[in-house]
């Protein structure tokens, strides 16, 4: 269920502001607040008083009713780039192979995380993923065992594989299509190759 903190977090993300910047804007309106105060509001561990809600509404350009109870709520989606491929050795922010964009619902995708889209190439993850599918990924350098991840192996372009972690520290990058063999790495091999996780899959979008 939507909360005041959730709405404040969305508003800040939509306005591309940091918690420090919101605190500074509040203080400019003679409303005392610091980054910790803004964080507590967004985490729903403390509710802003009415004067502070009024100041926040002015900063974000919304009504006080919207902040308090979500009335007249307008959902502004998070727009992300969809990449054709992710080359190794290129800073993520500098990747130029942008083939489109996708909109994410901020009620489902936490605006405080970073996301990207990637077009599936090949059939190594068939039948779960088909060539031309767009996957929505959350940027992270680690993931839980069993998650499908986007990973670099030995400096090659990033691939989509299922990540399996073993108790002995080994990891496996497993294709779902049994035609292709899995690759298992000891911790030492994963460091030498190297194997790097770029993010994990949150959603598949298939064009019909």
Same fold, 4-69 and 78-205: no
Give yes or no for a contact between 185 and 168, defined as CB atoms under 8 angstroms apart: no
Question: Closest Cα to residue 200, out of 127, 136, 153, 131?
Answer: 136
Domain coordinates of the chain in residue numbers?
Answer: 4-69, 78-205
Note the pLDDT tens digit of each residue in 85-139.
Answer: 999 888 888 899 999 999 988 777 877 789 999 999 999 999 999 999 999 999 9
Q: Which residues lie closer than 8 Å to 65 by C-beta, 6 or more apart?
A: 71, 72
Note the pLDDT tens digit of each residue in 189-199.
Answer: 999 989 999 99
Catalytic positions are 124, 161
Structure tokens at 11: 């508003």
CATH says 78-205 is which class? mainly beta
Quick one: the chain helix, strand, coil %, rounded to 5?
Answer: 25, 25, 45
Note the pLDDT tens digit of each residue in 54-67.
Answer: 999 888 888 898 89
User: Which CATH superfamily groups domain 4-69?
Assistant: lambda repressor-like DNA-binding domains (1.10.260.40)
Note the pLDDT tens digit of each residue in 126-172.
Answer: 999 999 999 999 999 999 999 999 999 988 889 999 999 999 999 99
């Amino acid at each position: 269920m939507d909360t005041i903190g959730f709405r404040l977090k969305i508003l800040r993300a939509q306005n591309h502001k940091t918690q420090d910047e919101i605190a500074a804007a509040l203080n400019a309106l003679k409303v005392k607040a610091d980054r910790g105060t803004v964080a507590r509001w967004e985490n729903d561990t403390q509710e802003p008083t009415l004067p502070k809600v009024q100041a926040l509404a002015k900063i974000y350009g919304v009504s006080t009713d919207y902040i308090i109870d979500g009335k007249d709520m307008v959902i502004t989606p998070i727009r992300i780039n969809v990449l054709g491929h992710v080359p190794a050795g290129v800073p993520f922010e500098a990747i130029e192979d942008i083939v489109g964009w996708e909109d994410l619902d901020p009620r489902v995708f936490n605006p405080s995380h970073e996301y990207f889209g990637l077009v599936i190439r090949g059939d190594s993850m068939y039948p779960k993923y088909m060539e031309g599918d767009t996957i929505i990924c959350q940027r992270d350098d680690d993931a839980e065992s069993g998650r499908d991840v986007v990973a670099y192996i030995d400096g090659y372009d990033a691939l989509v594989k299922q990540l399996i972690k073993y108790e002995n520290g080994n990891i496996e990058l497993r294709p779902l299509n049994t035609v292709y063999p899995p690759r298992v790495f000891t911790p030492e091999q994963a460091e030498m190759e190297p194997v790097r996780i770029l993010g994990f899959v949150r959603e598949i979008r298939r064009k019909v």
